[in-house]
Structure 1
């Protein structure tokens, strides 16, 4: 009885703490917050600007445009806590925005983490959430949450292969009978695409661009395989020779050449996953294929690229950027059923 009343006053929360985006869902109600994982702070005092309000969308607008005394920072890098104090402040701001805690009760929280982070990194995530105002904190691997959110039949005796490509980490797993059989994670994902594009423009066009411009190029014309009609975009940057503003026209072929090494690393990780499987599971993968999820998986013709490289069917889930928070929210809604697969600091 007390548990039911407590749940009504302070429902459980699902949090997908991503490198570029943080999403929060309330048990039984779905997604209620979707904000950039950015904080704007005074460089000396490390205090958040605007009395603690410069978090999320407000802070992201400042990236690349701040004076020397102000920093717009990402507290999460590679899907793990990079700056503990800023992460705590950011989570605290997001939890307050949910407005779900009443009578001093702290919500039970389920948070996502990559599959291959260290115990110290896992503890940092838990501590940051607890200090931000969470009650009991549980962790779930991103690949498992993505598989649940994608509706894969992971409880059945058949292999389910998922590749979750976020901003900071590519998380790969093969699941069967409700658990992860093989897992691999590499800190090469969406950000690596952006960095590769920026490096290519500097090398081939003598043009220096910021991370946001590189990300925009990826979204507007990026592709993993040739397009029926190739795309172009005009970008502005700084000429590396003359140190003056300059524009250049970039093609989708340029972007493919830039990101090819990153795609090759992802392909090698996927092949290594198959090599780690038992022959029976590997045989299943040839039939059921690979499922792609995550914001980084929205690159044009990425399923076709992996199909060509791996020789198995590949499909992209619906709404790939939110599949992890969707799966985490489902696990919160059926907490008792999924509890054996959560990690707790207790």
Structure 2
């Protein structure tokens, strides 16, 4: 059970805050996934949407690892309306359950890392994009790739949001908290984005990338041109409630794991999602439906480095009894 949680915690989260906790009930062979409010990125994510998406990604990893280990993860989202921190329950049942195809994604759990490096100017095959869209659909979300004027609009919104973030004191505080102000992490650090994962300083190109260094110089950091024709993907849900955020997180991670197996690197373009007035225009006004929950940058390029993770003993509690819900 500790090994399953170890795999679950490889999931991405906003600023690598890792806002999750797990409780395993031996008597019911059931996991509870709970949010950790102490690890909320409060100014950037005041409503907890990104927190739920990160926890949904960890839930997806837990399901994949469980199937790989021979279990069927019977999953319920928000099983107790009285307990808002209880995000999901996962009961491990006997072999032979449906959904076993996600077990094939297991090798990607430890290979998937956010890459903030330039990607190649190489088209992604339509068959690969279709497979990624199918993966999102299987988790109750949609994945579309903007082109033409819509892509230009998404890029402009990301640029506007990045400019706002640079001058917003509250968001700068969030960034400083989770990057240590650009100072290299101590060996004991277990969260946040360390300096070696910032990627190079952007000299040019249209690819939207967040500069985690802010106005703090990082010794030895290189600079590079990014792609002029970035490949972006919008992940959306029909509604915009906590259960939809959890579904979006699962869909996002399923897409990213499959993309990793397909040889793609990935990063996140969350800047416009963090401003209410910029998030809604991300939709395609002609064909877009629902609510954009995540913008992914995909491409062929160097994989990102592994970033710190909290040890399992800090995020997993084990009880002998059965859960109440």
Q: TM-score, normalised by structure 2?
A: 0.28
Return the structure number with greater strand share. 1
Q: With CA pairs under 8 Å and 6+ residues apart, which has the higher RCO, 1 or 2? A: 2
